[in-house]
Amino acid sequence: MRITMVVDGVSYTDEVEPRTLLVQHLRETLGKVGTVVGCDTSNCGACTVHVDGHSVKSCSMLAVQADGCEITTIEGLARDGRLHPVQQAFHDNHALQCGFCTPGMIMQAIDLLADDPDPDERTVRHGLEGNLCRCTGYQNIVRAVQDAAHRLKPAGERQPEHETVGGGE
């Protein structure tokens, strides 16, 4: 079957088998290997991408279902050599260890922040519950998402950073 999709701003038209998963097409045909194959059962969320602006576990969607869609992968987030604010917040807050879940976590976090630009800890945890991390206690991931929320606000809406108690004198 012939499909056309825009992936990370580039239009692709390819012949695909009807049973090809979107994650397989992205990785094997288009070389978007930042989209990770985790569990193949949609339980872990490592393969999360954006389809028409919303997070989707790409192992649960056929490539033919994405015909005519706009797909954003982890590779499509950085602009002009600068990380997306959520990517930068994950880096700055040490919100990864092995990094396997990180692309899916970041993609899900972006979707979460689009729905709720100022989430509390509970909202972040709930919003990421479909994405699993086996290395961390999620503390730094939650911190990173809340930091990214701050970074994504227009400069005039940002609250001043609070000093750490007993911090660094």
Could you report the per-residue pLDDT of 22-53, keeping only the tens digit for each? 999 999 999 999 999 988 788 899 999 999 99
Domain boundaries, the chain: 2-76, 85-154
Instruction: Give the pairing of strands 54-57 and 70-72.
Output: unpaired
Q: Is the sign of the CA dihedral 129, 132, 138, 142 positive or negative?
A: negative
* The Cα angle at residue 26 between residues 72 and 61, in degrees rounded to 5: 80
pTM of the model: 0.89
Alpha carbons 153 and 110: distance in angstroms, whole number: 13
Is residue 105 over pLDDT 50?
yes
- Nearest CA among 155, 86, 163, 88 for reference residue 119: 86
Alpha carbons 48 and 38: distance in angstroms, whole number: 10
Is residue 161 over pLDDT 70?
no
- Of the two residues 96 and 112, the one the predictor is more confident about is 112
Is residue 159 over pLDDT 90?
no
Look up tokens 């007993």; give the residue.
166
Task: Please tell me the CATH superfamily of domain 85-154, with its number.
Answer: [2Fe-2S]-binding domain (1.10.150.120)
Q: What is the pLDDT of residue 10?
A: 98
- Nearest CA among 48, 40, 95, 105 for reference residue 73: 48
What H or E segment, with its residue span, contains residue 113?
A: helix 102-115
Q: Which CATH number fits domain 2-76: 3.10.20.30, 1.10.1470.10, 3.40.50.2300, 3.30.43.10?
A: 3.10.20.30
Alpha carbons 101 and 96: distance in angstroms, whole number: 8
- Nearest CA among 100, 108, 95 for reference residue 138: 95
